[in-house]
């Protein structure tokens, strides 16, 4: 097991990554929180609960109250938050209650937001069950829901008291989800960790076959990278924006395809390809570096075909939340293992990058 310390101005907590965490959760939470919470709720999805409730409940003397969230972005809504908080009130929840978000990124985002607003805020821990949630959404304290107008438009910042990333739970994860999640690790390596890039190049087979040691290495490195960034910039004033590498075009792809055609990690992967194209034109990476990074992205693919026009993707970038005041903000890699945020990317540059990306489908995508 590896322990990664996350420190932000508003909170300090540990992320634990390893095997066998689920079966020993209750004492671990007690240790992290310092006392046994009075009333414990667990928010999870029916699928996860069907697979893992036995292991989850093993260490609890009194079973937590189970709240369910159906899977899918269409349930990441204000309506779900209202329903869940109402259920908590009716079950006797109060300010001393405690929430465990046990599931993928959507359960984590909704659960964290419920914790942030229920009775003006209660404490919670994350127990992420997908690779993506383990390396990305459970660290950093960004919580929230979607509006019909776009993703994550309503939310808050609330750090959990601890995160328990159990690698054993990944055993039941579909292969496509694992690969999509690994794109966040590819991202972590490209923007901040050259050694991780090399490890992922050299051990791709072991990682994709879910060899525990290899997975633990990749997960811990990814979390450590994010923790370092979040520690220095909790509320996304500056540095934290580099975590959005691949997200400008990635979000546009998700919006243009109504969040149905691809997984988030897959959209980010294509977005990284587009960002590499911008970086190459500006000369912040060499042709050889670009080739190596693209190859790494495709190695953890294949990526889905992009059945969308350049025009629609471009239009969607204009409404991207990351563009404060209408600026087209882009994260561009500088070599391998470093990145910077630029604000002056022109529509023409984005146009060329999107067209490059669409042209790479023969190389990087599956049918």
List active site positions.
Answer: 120, 142, 184, 226, 236, 240, 244, 247, 251, 264
CB of 248 to its own copies, least distance (A): 14
Using CA atoms, how far residue 171 sits from 48, 210, 212, 249, 342, in Å, is 12, 8, 10, 31, 39
Give the residue, chosen from 36, 50, 78, 363, that forms a contact with its own copies under the rule CB under 8 A: 78
Tokens of 94: 């109060």
CB of 38 to its own copies, least distance (A): 5
Q: Which stretch binds its own copies (CB under 8 A): 79-87, 196-204, 246-254, 343-351?
A: 79-87
Give the residue, chosen from 18, 150, 335, 337, that forms a contact with its own copies under the rule CB under 8 A: 150
Q: Which stretch binds its own copies (CB under 8 A): 15-23, 27-35, 321-329, 334-342?
A: 321-329
The binding track of 10-49 with respect to its own copies, each residue x by CB under 8 A or -, is ----------------------------x-----------
Closest CA to 27 of 19, 37, 39, 17: 37
Give the residue, chosen from 36, 50, 89, 195, that forms a contact with its own copies under the rule CB under 8 A: 89
Using CA atoms, how far residue 9 sits from 163, 192, 225, 286, in Å, is 18, 22, 17, 37
Decide: is 155 part of the binding site for its own copies (CB under 8 A).
yes
Decide: is 295 part of the binding site for its own copies (CB under 8 A).
no
Q: Which stretch binds its own copies (CB under 8 A): 87-95, 168-176, 276-284, 350-358?
A: 87-95
Give the residue, chosen from 28, 75, 76, 142, that forms a contact with its own copies under the rule CB under 8 A: 142
Give the residue, chosen from 13, 41, 98, 118, that forms a contact with its own copies under the rule CB under 8 A: 118
Contacts with 87 (C-beta within 8 Å, 6 or more apart), sequence order? 67
Measured from the CB atom, the residue of 93 and 304 that comes closer to its own copies is 93
Please give the Cα distance from 82 to 2 (Å, whole number): 36
Tokens of 163: 């995160």
Please give the Cα distance from 152 to 39 (Å, whole number): 28
Decide: is 81 part of the binding site for its own copies (CB under 8 A).
yes
Q: Give the sign of the dihedral formed by CA 200, CA 201, CA 205, CA 208.
A: positive
Measured from the CB atom, the residue of 116 and 218 that comes closer to its own copies is 116
Q: Which stretch binds its own copies (CB under 8 A): 45-53, 63-71, 142-150, 303-311?
A: 142-150
Please give the Cα distance from 77 to 259 (Å, whole number): 14
Chain centre distance of CA 346: 28
Q: How many residues bind its own copies (CB under 8 A)?
A: 35
Chain centre distance of CA 229: 14
Contacts with 188 (C-beta within 8 Å, 6 or more apart), sequence order? 135, 196, 221, 222, 225, 226
Measured from the CB atom, the residue of 142 and 280 that comes closer to its own copies is 142
Closest CA to 181 of 151, 141, 138, 240: 138
Please report, to the nearest 10 degrees, the dihedral formed by the alpha carbons of residues 84, 89, 95, 99 taken in order: -40
Please give the Cα distance from 209 to 215 (Å, whole number): 9
Please give the Cα distance from 146 to 74 (Å, whole number): 8
Give the residue, chosen from 31, 58, 194, 321, that forms a contact with its own copies under the rule CB under 8 A: 321
Q: Which stretch binds its own copies (CB under 8 A): 40-48, 98-106, 143-151, 181-189?
A: 143-151
Measured from the CB atom, the residue of 282 and 322 that comes closer to its own copies is 322
Catalog residues that contact its own copies under the rule CB under 8 A. 38, 78-79, 81-82, 85-86, 89-90, 94-96, 116-121, 142, 144, 147-150, 152-157, 235, 321, 323-325
């Amino acid at each position: 097991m590896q322990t990664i310390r996350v420190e932000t101005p508003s909170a300090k907590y540990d992320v634990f990554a390893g095997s066998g965490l689920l079966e020993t959760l209750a004492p671990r939470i007690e240790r992290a929180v310092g006392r046994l919470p009075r009333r414990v709720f667990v928010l999870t999805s029916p699928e996860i609960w069907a697979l893992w409730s036995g292991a989850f409940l093993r260490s609890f003397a009194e079973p937590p109250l189970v709240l369910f969230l159906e899977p899918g972005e269409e349930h990441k809504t204000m309506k779900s938050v209202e329903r869940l908080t109402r259920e908590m009130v009716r079950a006797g929840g109060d300010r001393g209650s405690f929430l465990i978000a046990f599931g993928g990124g959507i359960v984590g985002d909704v659960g964290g937001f419920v914790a942030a607003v229920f009775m003006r805020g209660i404490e919670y821990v994350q127990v992420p069950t997908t690779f993506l949630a383990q390396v990305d959404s459970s660290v950093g304290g960004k919580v929230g829901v979607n509006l019909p107008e776009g993703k994550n438009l309503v939310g808050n910042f609330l750090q959990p008291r601890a995160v328990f990333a159990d690698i054993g739970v990944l055993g039941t994860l579909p292969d496509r989800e694992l690969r999509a999640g690994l794109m966040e690790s590819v991202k972590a390596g490209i923007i901040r960790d050259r050694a991780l890039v090399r490890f992922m190049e050299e051990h791709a087979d072991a990682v994709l076959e879910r060899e525990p040691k290899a997975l633990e290495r990749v997960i811990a490195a990814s979390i450590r990278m994010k923790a370092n960034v979040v520690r220095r910039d909790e509320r996304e004033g500056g540095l934290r924006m580099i975590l959005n590498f691949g997200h400008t075009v990635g979000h546009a792809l998700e919006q243009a395809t109504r969040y149905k055609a691809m997984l988030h990690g897959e959209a980010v992967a294509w977005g990284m390809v587009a960002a590499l194209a911008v970086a190459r034109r500006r000369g912040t990476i060499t042709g050889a570096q670009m080739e190596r990074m693209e190859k790494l992205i495709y190695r953890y693919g294949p990526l889905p075909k992009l059945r969308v026009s350049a025009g629609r993707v471009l239009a969607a970038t204009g409404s991207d939340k990351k563009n404060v005041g209408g600026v087209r903000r882009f994260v561009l890699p500088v070599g391998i293992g470093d990145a910077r945020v630029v604000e002056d990317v022109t529509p023409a540059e984005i146009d060329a990058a999107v067209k490059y990306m669409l042209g790479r489908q023969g190389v990087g995508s599956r049918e």
